[in-house]
């Protein structure tokens, strides 16, 4: 057994009484050949390790630099210095792994930019910013599972490889084992996908919703939490080719139940992180405030990060219809001054600039928009009685835009088939999906939450590539 250690987070919560402890971690700084700031990733707080003069020989002293890994045995005592309650008075210090300071990119002197850290994503976990971001990402993931588990939802792993492309949510990646050089062909020259691994043409999923509906028709309440993919050539701060999505699906729910659950869910997640990651949030709030100091006054957020989270958590989300949203936009001075780049009229798909206006300028809080025109929404959404809008809902969040998209599903067999035909969805191939409407159909609803957007929202990171461990974007697939 390797020597038992105490994690620094636990140690810092312990009363110092001279007890012997063993700690291991990586050196963040080493001052005066005496004071080591040691970090093991359990918290951004470093443990101060004091090496009395004479404890270490010159050779060892030279090896202790930023990034070096150490095993320290010592006594946990009340700290003599400022800035920490306790420290470890070292009895022995062993270098586990050296770190060549000439080569190591993470030197405190030259504070690396987020852009640079993206290039060394394998090392950025060792910085305070990414330590905080990924501990919060973890907490959010756990809170998601806990929220649904506590409510009796079943976690469903929907398939990543799929032969269905009916969701129509975007461009897809092909999955194949056929050789490019000489693929098998049919007599007419087309590619013979019967020879492919799955005996047909297959892709990476864009959504687990349709499969989720199948299970909701048995378990009532299910959720997915898995990777989804878009082969879209969008090099923006808001898009990834590979991202994680949460998709709950609930039988016996209408659109209002759906909105209630989504709002409760988002508030729960925020509350969970505020209770469990206070220290990391404080760090990221300061980071964001520093970042915004570089911006012109009118581009800065109105709220600090933590104030924003408290505000969102403690206020009801605004609920408006699409029609009302269009009216608000048309009546805005922003519109009258021709400040919108895209056209505003009933029937358009709301653009990012419209969503941000509604959320950030008009309501100044999250907004749930319902009742979108049927023509711009997916085939499975339930037609409203007006015959032209559907029971869709999007949740728009300050600084992020769309964070949740959902709907009540069309549970009426005939209406669904009619919509599928009108939208050229292959009815024949989708019999498995239609079976849910043939055998004990029920009103049901669900939504999708983009996990990385939620992490962005909570951490205040402005680029989505900074909230996923290893980003996949056009022309970028490192590590």
Nearest to 263 by CA among 324, 326, 314: 314
Matching residue, tokens 């905080």 = 132
The answer to whether residues 329 and 357 touch, using CB atoms and an 8 Å cutoff, is yes
The nearest distance, CB 153 to a second copy, in angstroms, is 8
Smallest distance from a second copy to CB 418, Å: 18
Beta strands in 230-288 (DSSP E): 242-251
CB of 166 to a second copy, least distance (A): 11
> Least CB distance from residue 373 to a second copy, whole Å?
24
End-to-end Cα, the chain, rounded Å:
31
| Least gap, CB of 213 to a second copy (angstroms) | 9
| Burial bucket for residue 439 (CB in 10 Å: 0-12, 13-18, 19+) | exposed
Q: How far is CA 232 from CA 242, 285, 396, 453, in A?
A: 10, 32, 22, 17
Q: How many other CB atoms are there within 10 angstroms of residue 40's CB atom?
A: 18
Q: How far apart are CA 227 and CA 145, in angstroms?
A: 15
Minimum CB distance to a second copy smaller for 221 or for 355: 221
Q: Which is nearer to a second copy, 42 or 351 (CB)?
A: 42
Q: Cα separation of 430 and 212, whole Å?
A: 14
Closest CB to a second copy among residues 91, 154: 154
- Residues 389 and 43: their CA atoms lie apart, in Å, by 49
**Considering beta carbons, is residue 245 or 329 the nearer one to a second copy?**
245
Closest CB to a second copy among 271 and 304?
A: 271
* Least distance between a second copy and beta carbon 473 (Å): 8
Q: How far is the CB of 216 from a second copy (least distance, A)?
A: 8
Residue 223 near residue 246, CB atoms below 8 Å: yes
The residue (of 262 and 350) whose beta carbon lies closer to a second copy is 262
Nearer to a second copy among residue 346 and residue 432 (C-beta): 432
Residues 451-465 as b or e (16 or more Cβ within 10 Å = b): bbbbbbbbbbbbebb
Question: Who contacts 394 (Cβ-Cβ below 8 Å, separation ≥6)?
Answer: 350, 368, 369, 372, 402, 404, 405, 406
What are 103's two structure tokens? Answer: 């080569």
Question: Rounded to the nearest whole angstrom, what is the least distance from the CB of residue 193 to a second copy in the complex?
Answer: 9
Closest to a second copy by CB, 40 vs 360, is 40
Which one, of 136, 144, 64, lies nearest residue 101 by Cα?
64
**E-only strand ranges, 260-311:** none
In the complex, minimum distance from the CB of residue 65 to a second copy, in angstroms, rounded to a whole number: 9
Q: Minimal distance in Å, beta carbon 311 to a second copy?
A: 26
Rank residues 310 and 442 by Cβ distance to a second copy and give the closer one: 442
214 or 274: whose CB is closer to a second copy? 214
83 φ, ψ (degrees, to nearest 5): 95, -15
Characterise 371 by phi-psi region: left (phi > 0), alpha (psi -120 to 50), beta (else): left
> Which 8-state DSSP code applies to residue 187?
T
């Amino acid at each position: 057994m390797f020597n038992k250690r105490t994690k620094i987070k636990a140690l810092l919560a312990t009363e110092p009484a001279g007890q012997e402890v063993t700690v291991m971690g990586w050196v963040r700084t080493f001052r005066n050949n005496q004071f080591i700031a040691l970090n093991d990733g359990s918290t951004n707080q470093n443990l101060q390790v004091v090496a009395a003069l004479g404890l270490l020989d010159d050779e060892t002293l030279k090896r202790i630099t930023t990034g070096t890994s150490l095993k320290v045995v010592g006594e946990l005592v009340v700290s003599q210095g400022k800035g920490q309650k306790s420290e470890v008075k070292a009895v022995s210090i062993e270098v586990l792994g050296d770190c060549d300071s000439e080569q190591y990119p993470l030197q405190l002197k030259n504070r690396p930019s987020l852009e640079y850290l993206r290039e060394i994503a394998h090392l950025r976990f060792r910085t305070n910013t990414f330590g905080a971001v990924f501990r919060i990402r973890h907490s959010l993931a756990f809170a998601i599972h806990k929220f649904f588990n506590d409510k009796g939802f079943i976690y469903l792993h929907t398939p990543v490889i799929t032969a269905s492309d009916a969701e129509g949510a975007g461009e897809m990646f092909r999955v194949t084992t056929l050789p490019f050089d000489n693929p098998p062909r049919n007599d007419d020259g087309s590619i013979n996908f019967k020879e492919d691994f799955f005996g047909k043409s297959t892709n990476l999923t864009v959504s687990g919703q349709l499969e989720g509906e199948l299970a909701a028709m048995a378990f009532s309440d299910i959720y997915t939490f898995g990777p989804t993919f878009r082969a879209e050539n969008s090099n923006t701060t808001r898009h990834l080719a590979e991202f994680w999505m949460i998709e709950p699906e609930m039988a016996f729910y209408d659109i209002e139940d759906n909105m209630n659950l989504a709002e409760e869910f988002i508030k729960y997640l925020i509350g969970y992180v505020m209770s469990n990651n206070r220290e990391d949030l404080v760090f990221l709030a300061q980071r964001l405030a520093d970042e915004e100091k570089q911006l012109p006054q009118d581009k800065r957020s109105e709220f600090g990060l933590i104030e924003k989270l408290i505000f969102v958590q403690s206020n009801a989300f605004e609920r408006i219809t699409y029609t009302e949203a269009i009216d608000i936009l048309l009546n805005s001075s922003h519109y009258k001054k021709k400040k919108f780049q895209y056209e505003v009229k009933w029937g358009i798909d709301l653009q990012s600039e419209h969503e941000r206006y509604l959320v950030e300028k008009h309501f100044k809080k999250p907004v749930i928009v319902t009742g979108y025109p049927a023509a711009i929404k997916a085939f499975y959404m339930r037609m409203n009685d007006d015959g032209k809008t559907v029971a869709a809902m999007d949740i728009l969040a300050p600084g992020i835009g769309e964070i949740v998209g959902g709907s009540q599903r069309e549970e009426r067999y005939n209406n669904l088939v009619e919509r599928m035909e009108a939208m050229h969805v292959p009815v024949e191939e989708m019999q498995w999906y239609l079976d849910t409407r043939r055998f004990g159909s029920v009103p049901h609803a669900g939504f999708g939450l983009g996990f990385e957007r939620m992490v962005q929202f909570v951490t205040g990171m402005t680029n989505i590539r900074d909230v996923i461990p290893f980003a996949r974007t056009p022309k970028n697939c490192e590590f």
